[in-house]
């Protein structure tokens, strides 16, 4: 008897119930249990079989942990074919999420019923593969090519009501999956409904697959699986029969299964789930949060307040003056209006939030009752210390005192209060109500309960939270500074900002570093450079000054219409600013640099290795707990292409000794900048990779 698939005879119906928590993934034992259940039913004199899942869901897909390991019988495609070929009528009753292989099992059944909250989908492309158990052949036969392509190439989860309209489900009914399933099967038997194998349905009508392939490839910014899925669906129309279409699907599936993109995407899937699992928080309860305070309602404060309001919290916002507070509320109202426009909030809820859940204040007494306060005032240590001293004097005992600082020393901020154990960094990314990343910065004296509260808040706000230690820029901005410097060096040596941006967007980044600077505002980098120069830079560090000249002329990027690029009002496209190259050439001449050619490959490799090297320092110093914490930070905060899994997964895929060899070679030209991080060197020497550290943690 299978441990994970129950067998029960209810009159004329054999009931197979899956019990493989948490998500009834279709691992080898589940597949064996289903096969055995079908065979037993066929020998048991019943007329039909009902398959459903116990617990929170029907099958949520193949067991991803088995990917890359030797396959175990029965294969999922063979199991699906076997279910479909059964002489008994086979019906599935769905609830929760029927995804990937789960939906493929359901599609191999002859009928499907689901509860109203069920979601179905074929999200395999998000894992770098395509459906591999007949999904690309059965779904187009059931729902038509266009609907199937949309579902398969986006991986979208489709609500039961829509799936019913598409023909993916035959019935939607509220109730217990077992009970509604049994009633449905009895109905089908009583009305003499025939077995209905999808493989026997007519081939679907073809569309212009070449045009669709090109469009999907372009949209994927280098991600292959959605475009390859188009070719698999094409086979459902063009292969001479169902089996030939399936063979084509298998061929494409196998190719992708061996790809680096599959490895990167699966790494990302598990890393984003592992990132908030911290041994130090085992058994620690977070403090309760009802009311949040925000100090400073500029770009970030307004975004943070919006995020908290959208999550159902109540907010008190403190600003310097009544006018500044009103301006902050206007920013929040505009953010909420955007949420309404995107369908994330109803107009009624928007009104309710603005009327009842936000209080403006110019007086610290207004913050006396909040459970947690997030400071988002100007990035200036003296101002932040003054704010924290006032928070210390007014906030109730047990309130968490958080700062959104991007770079400043959290220990120094905490020391300006009499309760450093309550102080933490909550570093949001702009726009704070949209960006998913939250760096949770832990200072020397931060209490575990306060860290747990930070993670609980992150979860409530729908963020992906990463633990970081204290250093200049924490995980993300510290690494950003290092690879941004590498880009500046390449510009001095002969590459143009436009070539660098183009090479990196081709690699898969959402934007190149110079377009990003224009978006963030060139004044921010300018202020940081001035601050660093004032503290005295190491004389060995190579500096560039041409960007300062842009700023001195009042060009701060998108917000002023000109930066590295020129932006026309009302037009989102950008053109290279013709003033840039003369500024760069003048600086090269003044420094006596003879510019050289860079290939796109070299640009990408140097930029990526600069990122990896700093990331290895960040892990080696314990600023990030594990390599995966860096990977998730870059994926969710810095537009890193998800299909590479993050910079340290990318490095593993390149081979760490090759990475170290490149750094050693480049150190000949700039020994100050290019020195291998000790951790990187150690792993390369030992023949290990970053993922070994993830697995050991």
8, 29, 42, 124: the catalytic one is 124
The single-letter DSSP state of residue 431 is S
Instruction: Give bridge partners of residue 658 from the DSSP assignment.
Output: none
**CA atoms of 292 and 519, how far apart (whole Å):** 29
Indicate which of ligand NAI, ligand 3HC, none lies near residue 76 (CB less than 5 to 8 Å, by partner kind): ligand 3HC
Smallest separation (angstroms) from ligand 3HC to the CB of 249: 9
CB of 56 to ligand 3HC, least distance (A): 7
Which stretches of 544-646 are assigned E, i.e. beta strand? 565-567, 574-576
Q: Which of 94, 300, 457, 491 binds ligand NAI (CB under 6 A)?
A: 300
- β-bridge mates for residue 317, sequence order: 294, 360
For residue 114, give the nearest of 124, 102, 101 by alpha carbon: 102
For residue 319, state whether it binds ligand NAI (rule: CB under 6 A). yes
Catalytic site includes residue 124: yes
In this structure, are residues 528 and 488 in contact, taking their beta carbons and an 8 Å threshold? no
Give me 633's structure tokens. Answer: 């930070």
- Say if CB 325 and CB 319 are below 8 A apart: yes
> Helices 476-493 and 580-591 sit at what angle, rounded to 10 degrees?
80
Q: Which of ligand 3HC, ligand NAI, none does residue 124 bind to, with CB < 5 to 8 Å depending on kind?
A: ligand 3HC
Residue whose pair of structure tokens reads 């120069």 in the numeric block: 533
Q: Which parts of 138-177 interact with ligand 3HC (CB under 6 A)?
A: none
Among residue numbers 25 through 84, which ones bind ligand 3HC (CB under 6 A)? 25, 60-65, 76
CA distance 619 to 515: 28
Structure tokens of 304? 């943070």
Site string for ligand NAI, 350-379 (x = CB under 6 A): --------------------------xxxx
- Report the chain's C-alpha Rg in angstroms: 28
In whole angstroms, how close is the CB of 330 to ligand NAI at the nearest point? 11
Residue 454 makes contact with ligand NAI by CB under 6 A = no
Answer for which of 17, 234, 404, 453 binds ligand NAI (CB under 6 A) is: 404
Q: Which of 33, 53, 128, 132 binds ligand 3HC (CB under 6 A)?
A: 132
Among 127, 289, 302, 401, binds ligand 3HC (CB under 6 A): 127
Nearest residue relative to ligand NAI (C-beta): 298
Asked if 298 interacts with ligand NAI (CB under 6 A), we say yes
Question: Count of residues binding ligand 3HC (CB under 6 A)?
Answer: 23
Piece in contact with ligand NAI (CB under 6 A), picked from 134-142, 233-241, 318-326, 605-613: 318-326
- Does the active-site annotation cover 587? no
405 lines the binding site for ligand NAI (CB under 6 A): yes
Region binding ligand 3HC by CB under 6 A among candidate stretches 38-46, 92-100, 455-463, 533-541: 92-100
Q: Interface with ligand 3HC includes 22 (CB under 6 A)? A: yes
**Helix axis angle, 299-310 relative to 322-341, nearest 10°?**
50
Q: Which does 319 bind (CB under 5 to 8 A by kind): ligand 3HC, ligand NAI, none?
A: ligand NAI
Q: Catalytic: which of 104, 319, 614, 681? A: 104
320 lines the binding site for ligand NAI (CB under 6 A): yes
- CA–CA dist 558, 580 (Å, integer): 15
Burial class (CB in 10 A: 0-12, 13-18, 19+), 7: middle
**Lookup result for tokens 């079908």:** 38
| Binding partner of residue 132 among ligand 3HC, ligand NAI, none, CB cut-off 5 to 8 Å per kind | ligand 3HC
CB 526 within 8 A of CB 551: yes
Place of tokens 């910065």: 441
Which is it for strands 565-567 and 574-576: parallel, antiparallel or unpaired?
Answer: antiparallel
CA distance to 72, 182, 265, 432, 506, per residue, from 124 (Å): 20, 30, 10, 29, 23
- Reference 173, options 258, 116, 255, 251; nearest CA is 116
Min CB(119)–ligand 3HC separation in Å: 8
Residue with the two structure tokens 């590295």:
564
Residues forming contacts to ligand 3HC in the complex (CB under 6 A) are 22-23, 25, 60-65, 76, 97, 99-101, 104, 123-124, 127, 131-133, 135, 273
Active site residues: 104, 124
Residues forming contacts to ligand NAI in the complex (CB under 6 A) are 295-301, 318-320, 324, 376-379, 383, 387, 404-406, 428-430
């Amino acid at each position: 008897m299978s441990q994970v698939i129950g067998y029960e005879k209810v009159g004329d119906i054999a009931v197979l119930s899956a019990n493989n928590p948490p998500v009834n993934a279709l691992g080898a034992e589940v597949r064996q249990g289903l096969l055995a259940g079908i065979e037993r039913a066929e020998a048991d004199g019943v007329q039909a079989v009902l398959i459903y899942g116990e617990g929170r869901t029907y099958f949520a897909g193949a067991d991803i942990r088995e990917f890359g390991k030797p396959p175990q019988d029965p294969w999922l495609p063979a199991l699906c074919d076997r279910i479909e070929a059964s002489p008994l009528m086979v019906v599935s009753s769905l609830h929760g999420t029927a995804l990937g292989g789960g939906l493929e099992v359901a599609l191999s059944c002859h009928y499907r019923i689901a509860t109203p909250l069920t979601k179905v989908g074929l999200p395999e492309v998000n894992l770098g593969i395509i459906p591999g158990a007949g999904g690309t052949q059965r779904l187009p036969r059931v729902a038509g090519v266009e609907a199937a392509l949309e579902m398969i190439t986006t991986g979208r989860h489709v609500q039961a009501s829509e799936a019913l309209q598409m023909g993916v489900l035959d019935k939607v009914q509220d109730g217990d999956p077992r009970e509604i399933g049994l009633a449905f099967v009895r109905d089908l038997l009583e009305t003499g409904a025939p077995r209905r194998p999808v493989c026997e349905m007519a081939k679907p009508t073809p569309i212009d697959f070449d045009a669709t392939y090109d469009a999907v490839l372009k949209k994927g910014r280098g991600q292959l699986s959605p475009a390859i899925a188009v070719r698999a669906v094409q086979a459902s129309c063009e292969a001479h029969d169902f089996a030939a279409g399936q063979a084509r699907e298998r061929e494409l599936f196998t190719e992708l299964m061996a790809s680096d993109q599959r490895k990167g995407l699966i790494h990302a899937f598990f890393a984003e789930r592992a990132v908030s699992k911290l041994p130090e928080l085992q058994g620690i309860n977070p403090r309760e949060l009802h009311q949040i305070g925000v100090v400073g309602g500029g770009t970030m404060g307004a975004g943070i307040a919006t995020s908290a309001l959208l999550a159902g919290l109540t907010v008190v916002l403190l600003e310097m003056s009544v006018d500044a507070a009103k301006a902050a509320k206007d920013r929040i109202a505009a953010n909420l209006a955007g949420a309404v426009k995107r369908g994330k909030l109803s107009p009624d809820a928007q009104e309710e939030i603005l009327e009842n859940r936000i209080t403006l204040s110019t007086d610290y007494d207004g913050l006396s009752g909040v459970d947690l306060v997030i400071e988002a005032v100007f990035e200036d240590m003296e101002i932040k210390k003054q704010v924290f001293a006032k928070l210390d004097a007014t906030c109730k005992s047990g309130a968490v005192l958080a700062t959104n600082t991007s770079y400043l020393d959290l220990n120094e901020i905490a020391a300006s209060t009499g309760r450093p154990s309550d102080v933490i960094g909550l570093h949001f990314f702009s726009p704070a109500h949209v960006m998913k990343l939250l760096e949770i910065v832990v200072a020397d004296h931060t209490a575990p309960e306060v860290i747990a509260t930070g993670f609980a808040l992150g979860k409530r706000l729908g963020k992906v939270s990463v633990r970081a230690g204290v250093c200049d820029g924490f995980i993300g901005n510290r690494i950003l500074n290092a690879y941004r410097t590498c880009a500046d060096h390449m510009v001095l040596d002969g590459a143009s900002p436009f070539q660098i941006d183009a090479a990196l967007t081709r690699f898969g980044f959402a934007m190149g570093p110079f377009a990003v600077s224009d978006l963030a505002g060139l004044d921010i980098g300018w202020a940081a450079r001035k601050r660093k120069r004032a503290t005295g830079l190491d004389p060995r560090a190579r500096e560039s000054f041409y960007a300062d000249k842009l700023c001195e002329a009042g060009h701060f990027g998108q917000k002023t219409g000109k930066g590295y690029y020129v932006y026309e009002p009302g037009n989102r496209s950008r053109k290279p600013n013709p003033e840039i190259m003369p500024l760069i050439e003048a600086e090269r001449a003044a420094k006596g640099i003879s510019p050289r050619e860079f290939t796109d490959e070299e640009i990408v490799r140097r930029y990526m290795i600069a990122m990896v090297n700093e990331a290895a320092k960040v892990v080696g110093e314990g600023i990030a707990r594990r390599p995966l914490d860096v990977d998730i930070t870059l994926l969710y905060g810095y537009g890193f292409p998800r299909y590479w899994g993050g910079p340290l997964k990318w490095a593993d895929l390149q081979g760490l000794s090759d990475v170290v060899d490149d750094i050693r070679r480049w150190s000949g030209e700039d020994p100050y900048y290019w020195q291998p991080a000790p951790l990187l060197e150690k792993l390369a020497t030992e023949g290990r990779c970053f993922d070994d550290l993830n697995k050991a943690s």
